[in-house]
């Protein structure tokens, strides 16, 4: 079987009013914990308003996290391309590629919070076209040494070139964000890059999974590109504890704040989440397929469900970092997933289970033989001692 990668998608979501310095420190410590537990990837968001998602520059956060970790790959999840000059986006990611020796990844999107765009005079109707224009420029800058001249209403590039060429050869991973519409899949196929299905477990996103990859393949064929399912990442919601009851107690810490954010603050209709109290919210998460609050077996079932719906599989399962539980319980959840869920999808579960089953089947006969051998040796020693006496 292909090895499924595991990671997180860290927006992050922090309760407004708490100490932001401590919250960011907790996020950096989470990166270290995930690295220790063997997670493959972490994607860091960019937001500038609404009070909860408080990392303004994923690149700066990645630079700090890279110095604290050894193995985990770190991606922008995502850079809101409509907000930035594409030349500077390309320059910054190439700098990080060198600084991390190839552990960086570039995730791109139009910008999810209208309150961000409003502050710099961008209407939501403009962001997707700006995303297309910017990504086209960035891909040219990253893959060609020919100068780029491009102009639209927002940017004017004149014989633009990268100052440094990428460290990674041929190139680091690049992925376009997708929620429910075909906009992200179209871009992924057009440029032959990966896809971040951020709303994979929402009703609309789940229904569109197989369709989205069909769009990716069709666009890739039309533009002479190749695409790889291993570069497709699905984002879902999970909190795991030793028992389902413990997991439900854990999320009392912060699930109401998270639901309130999507119900009343963030203008992000694709993330419609009903529920008026903790019990209703947990029920919605578990019964709708939106996520899994419970035991490792529930997480395994959720991933199996996504595998089937994707109609061919995907390369990575990313857990949306949500702060439903306090930091200690959150770390425990990620550890339990690494300990009990990852082996099911990385080729390690059956080998040890089958080895144990074989040994159990053979135990009665081998134990009897072992006991007989010990007894024979003991008797031989007794005989030798008796012969020396006589």
pLDDT digits (tens, 9 = 90+) for 175-226: 999 987 888 999 999 999 999 999 899 988 899 899 999 999 999 999 999 9
pLDDT-based confidence at residue 87 (cuts at 50, 70, 90)? very high
pLDDT score recorded for residue 341: 98
Half-sphere exposure of 361 (CA within 13 A, CB side): 6
Give the 3-state secondary structure of residue 40.
Answer: coil
d(CA 214, CA 208): 10
Half-sphere exposure of 292 (CA within 13 A, CB side): 23
Asked if 191 and 143 touch (Cβ cutoff 8 Å), the reply is no
Q: Which two tokens stand for residue 151?
A: 């102009």
Mean pLDDT computed over every residue of the chain: 96
pLDDT score recorded for residue 270: 74
Domain 5-347, CATH class in plain words: alpha beta
Asked if 316 and 303 touch (Cβ cutoff 8 Å), the reply is no
Mean pLDDT for the stretch of residues 112-128: 95
- Taking Cα atoms as reference points, which of 121, 61, 130 lies closest to residue 92? 61
pLDDT-based confidence at residue 107 (cuts at 50, 70, 90)? very high
Higher pLDDT, 261 or 386: 261
The 10s digit of each residue's pLDDT in 311-351 is 999 999 999 999 999 999 999 999 999 999 999 999 999 99
End-to-end alpha-carbon separation of the chain, Å?
A: 67
Give the 3-state secondary structure of residue 274.
Answer: coil
pLDDT score recorded for residue 10: 98
Higher pLDDT, 159 or 181: 159
Q: Where are the domains of the chain?
A: 5-347, 359-390
Asked if pLDDT for residue 1 goes beyond 70, the answer is no
d(CA 116, CA 114): 5
The 10s digit of each residue's pLDDT in 218-267 is 999 999 999 999 999 999 999 999 999 999 999 999 999 999 999 999 97
Asked if pLDDT for residue 22 goes beyond 80, the answer is yes
The 10s digit of each residue's pLDDT in 290-314 is 999 999 999 999 999 999 999 999 9
- Taking Cα atoms as reference points, which of 174, 134, 176 lies closest to residue 157? 134
φ and ψ of 271, to 5 deg: -100, 50
Mean pLDDT for the stretch of residues 138-158: 98
pLDDT-based confidence at residue 390 (cuts at 50, 70, 90)? low
The 10s digit of each residue's pLDDT in 24-52 is 999 999 999 999 999 999 999 999 999 99
Asked if pLDDT for residue 104 goes beyond 60, the answer is yes
d(CA 145, CA 210): 36
Asked if pLDDT for residue 55 goes beyond 80, the answer is yes
Q: Which two tokens stand for residue 254?
A: 């912060």
| Burial class of residue 274 in the structure, from the number of CB atoms within 10 Å of its CB (0-12 exposed, 13-18 middle, 19+ buried) | exposed
pLDDT score recorded for residue 271: 80
Asked if 271 and 202 touch (Cβ cutoff 8 Å), the reply is yes
pLDDT score recorded for residue 281: 98
d(CA 257, CA 219): 39
Half-sphere exposure of 382 (CA within 13 A, CB side): 6
d(CA 359, CA 361): 5
């Amino acid at each position: 079987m292909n090895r499924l990668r595991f990671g997180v998608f860290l927006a992050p979501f922090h309760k407004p009013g708490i100490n932001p310095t401590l919250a960011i420190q907790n996020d950096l410590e989470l990166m270290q914990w995930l690295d220790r537990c063997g997670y493959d990837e972490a994607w860091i968001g960019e937001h500038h308003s609404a009070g909860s998602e408080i990392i303004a520059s994923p690149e700066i956060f990645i630079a700090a996290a890279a110095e604290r970790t050894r193995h985990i790959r770190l991606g922008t999840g995502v850079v809101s391309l409509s907000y930035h000059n594409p030349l500077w986006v390309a320059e910054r990611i190439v700098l990080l590629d060198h600084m991390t020796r190839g552990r960086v990844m570039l995730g791109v999107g139009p910008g999810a919070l209208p309150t961000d765009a409003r502050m710099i005079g961008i209407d939501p109707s403009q962001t997707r076209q700006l995303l297309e224009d910017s990504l086209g420029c960035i891909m040219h800058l990253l893959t060609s040494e020919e100068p780029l001249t491009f102009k639209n209403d927002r940017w004017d590039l004149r014989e633009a070139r990268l100052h440094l060429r990428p460290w990674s050869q041929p190139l680091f991973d690049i992925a376009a964000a997708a929620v429910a519409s075909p906009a992200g899949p179209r871009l992924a196929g057009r440029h032959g890059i990966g896809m971040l299905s951020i709303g994979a477990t929402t009703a609309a996103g789940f229904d569109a999974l197989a369709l989205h990859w069909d769009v990716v393949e069709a666009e890739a064929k039309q533009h002479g590109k190749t695409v790889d399912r291993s570069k497709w990442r699905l984002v879902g919601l999970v909190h795991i504890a030793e028992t389902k009851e413990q997991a439900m107690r854990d999320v009392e810490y912060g699930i109401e704040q998270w639901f309130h954010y999507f119900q009343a603050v963030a203008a992000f209709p694709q993330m419609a989440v009903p529920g008026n109290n903790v019990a209703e919210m947990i029920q919605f998460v578990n019964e709708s397929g939106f996520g899994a609050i419970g035991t490792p077996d529930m997480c395994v079932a959720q991933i199996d469900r996504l595998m089937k719906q994707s109609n061919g599989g995907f390369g990575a399962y990313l857990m949306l970092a949500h702060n439903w539980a306090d930091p200690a319980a959150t770390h425990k959840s990620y550890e339990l997933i690494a300990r009990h869920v990852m082996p099911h999808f990385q080729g390690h579960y059956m080998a040890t289970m089958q080895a144990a089953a074989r040994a159990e089947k053979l135990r009665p006969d081998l134990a009897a033989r072992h006991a007989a051998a010990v007894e024979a040796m003991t008797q031989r020693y007794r005989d030798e001692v008796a012969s020396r006496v006589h």
